[in-house]
Amino acid sequence: MTFFQAVFGMNVKEITDDATETISHYAMVSVTFTVLTAWLVVAFQSHSSFHEPGSGFFQRLSWPFSYVIRHILRLLRGQPSELL
C-alpha cells in the first residue's frame, strides 16, 4: 500500500502539472484495494452474517458468491430475503 501511496499520492495531472498519472488511475487502484481489503476482512472472520456458521476458510473466502447465491435461492423459493 505504501508503494501505491508513493506512486499516486497527490501526483496526478489534475493537481500537479508535471505528474504522469491521472485521477482515474488513482481511483481505480484505491477502489480495487478497498474492495480487496473488505473481502479479506470478512473472509478472515469466523463469525459473520455473510457466510454460514462453521464455514472453513476457503468457503469463507468465496463469501461474495455464496452470499448472493444463497439469497437468490431464497427468492426463488418464495422466502423473504434481506441482502444486508
Distance CA 47, CA 66 (A): 15
pLDDT at 84: 53
pLDDT digits (tens, 9 = 90+) for 23-80: 788 788 889 988 999 888 888 888 877 777 788 888 888 888 888 888 888 888 887 7
- Residue 6 is predicted with a pLDDT of 67
Residue with cell 478497498: 34
Q: How many domains does the chain have?
A: 2
Shared domain check, 3 and 38 = yes
Residue 23 sits in the same domain as residue 59: no
pTM score of the predicted model: 0.61
Considering the domain architecture, whether residues 37 and 8 belong to the same structural domain is answered as: yes
Identify the bridge partners of residue 12 per DSSP, sorted by sequence position. Answer: 21
Burial of 70 (0-12, 13-18, 19+ CB in 10 A): middle
48: left (phi over 0), alpha (psi -120 to 50) or beta: beta
Residues 18 and 39 reside in one and the same domain:
yes
pLDDT at 81: 63
Range of the domain at 27: 1-44
pLDDT at position 9 over 60 = yes
